[in-house]
């Protein structure tokens, strides 16, 4: 039983890595500079490949630009899905959703806080 779970998880991770690579290629091939310069941090795919969330690095993207990117992606979604179909042997492309990933920004903020704590503790020791 444990082996099946592990095997399923490995298959899921491979599927997501494969889709991540294909989506990067698809976005990079678009003529829209708002989309072809996006940094995909990860792709989370449902088990049946029906849905896929595309996580985009958003630390340097303000809310107004995020709205514009979402509108541009909505128009480009069929092109990206067609690219996925032409690149894979899948019978249908997953429904794609763009998600702005702020985890890097959160990590950077935490790093700054820890650095401040470290500096403060060094000052207190002297």
**Residue-level pLDDT at 30:** 92
Class level of CATH domain 2-125: alpha beta
DSSP string of the chain?
Answer: -HHHHHHHHHHHHHHHHHHHHHHHHHHHTSS-HHHHT--EEEEEE-TTSSEEEEEEE-TT--HHHHHHHHHHHHHHHHHHHHHHHHHS--SSPPEEEEEEE-HHHHHHHHHHHHHHHHHHHHHHH-
**Residue-level pLDDT at 85:** 93
CB atoms within 10 A of CB 73: 21
Q: How far is residue 72's CA from residue 29's CA, in Å, rounded to a whole number?
A: 14
Map out the domains of the chain as residue ranges. 2-125
User: pLDDT tens digits for the chain (126 residues)?
Assistant: 566 668 878 888 999 999 999 999 999 999 988 898 999 999 999 887 899 999 999 888 889 999 999 999 999 999 999 999 999 888 899 999 999 987 666 666 666 777 777 777 777 666
């Amino acid at each position: 039983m444990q082996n099946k779970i592990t095997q399923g998880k490995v298959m899921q991770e491979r599927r997501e890595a494969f889709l991540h690579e294909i989506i990067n290629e698809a976005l990079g091939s678009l003529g829209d500079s708002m989309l072809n310069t996006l940094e995909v941090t990860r792709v989370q795919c449902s088990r049946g490949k029906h849905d896929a969330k595309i996580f985009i690095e958003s630390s340097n993207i303000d809310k107004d630009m995020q709205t514009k990117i979402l509108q541009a992606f909505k128009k480009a979604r069929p092109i990206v899905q067609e690219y996925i179909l032409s690149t894979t042997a899948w019978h249908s492309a997953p429904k794609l959703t763009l998600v702005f990933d702020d985890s890097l920004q959160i990590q950077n903020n935490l790093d700054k806080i820890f650095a401040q704590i470290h500096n403060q503790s060094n000052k207190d020791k002297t």
